[in-house]
Amino acid sequence: MGSSGKTLRRLLAGAALIGALAIGLHITRRRPAIHRVAADLRSPLLYLPLDLRTERSLRVVRSLSTRAATPVASGVEVSERTAEGTEGAPGPRVVIYERSDRQRPSGALLWIHGGGLVLGRPEQANTWCSALAADLDVLVVSVDYRLAPEHPFPDGLTDCYDALVWLNDRAAELGVDPGRIAVGGDSAGGGLSAALCQLVRDRGGPAVCFQLLNYPMLDDRTVLRTDHDGRGEFVWTPASNRFGWTSYLNQEPTPDDAPVHAAPARTADLAGLPPAWIGVGELDLFLDEDVDYATRLEAAGVPCELHVEPGMYHGADQLLLKNQRMEEYRNRMVAALRAVVG
């Protein structure tokens, strides 16, 4: 027993040493990429490997984030409803944020959370949604849409559409001006927001007055690229992007085609869409697709304000909530919304 115990301790010590060396090597390899990040946006969390590559890794991340909920702003009431489905079945759960003294009718924002189409829930954006409700005196509705790979396209988009129809149909009951309903989201939620705007345009309603797209996930063809020029090193990587799009499309992306409204960047005709605000970081994997989409919106006659934040990686505004520059970045979104719904 004594000999076996010594052997086990040696094996464990060896494994610990190998693990420490591997971590050290990983940190050394990450340093050049981190040096590209603006100094005020750096965080120790950027050294962590965060790739999503398999359903097993997805289950682990989901288990860690299942109960993640950010604080609610003071003076904001939160409630839940179930939206009616457009096909007779129950629709998605929606989380509603509003000030107790909200003046009615007010504008409204349908918010769609991020998570690479495979992660997330409305409560992860409690702070953001409740702050908008408080600052702009509007109704904010966050939709709990179905996630891939269990629910591939079009399930998630259908839920977002159902939530928008419900918000529009219940405008009088909810104290909302139906002419001042905007949609918005971050990352995958931004991509779903863009797709939703295309869908309602093609179906003839309901009306959307504005789209707020924060580093939106718009183009599955980014998965096919290898020339990222060092972008996508942090938070949402090329490997995670491949997993997210493959899960959502229920197949690997191809150069040729994707289902209509699945990848908003593939839509040729962007005329007639709502005015937009698009923000993205200089080091974000989605930089090229977002800049291209903004350029094409303008070319199609759709007013679009584009903001590219120097030295910013994907999700930095959420990772660094008290960072002055990220507060200024978020204030740009608030100002854009205030102009149309506030």
List the catalytic residues: 187, 284, 314
DSSP annotation of 55: H
The neighbour count for residue 170, using CB atoms within 10 Å, is 16
Pairing of strands 106-112, 76-84: unpaired
DSSP annotation of 80: E
> Is the C-alpha dihedral spanning 213, 160, 133, 207 positive or negative?
positive
Q: Which residue has the tokens 């980014």?
A: 222
How buried is 43 (Cβ within 10 angstroms: 0-12 exposed, 13-18 middle, 19+ buried)? middle
| Residue 337, both tokens | 């919304």
**DSSP track, 244-257:** HHHHHHTS---SS-
Q: Is 141 helix (H, G, I), strand (E, B) or coil?
A: strand
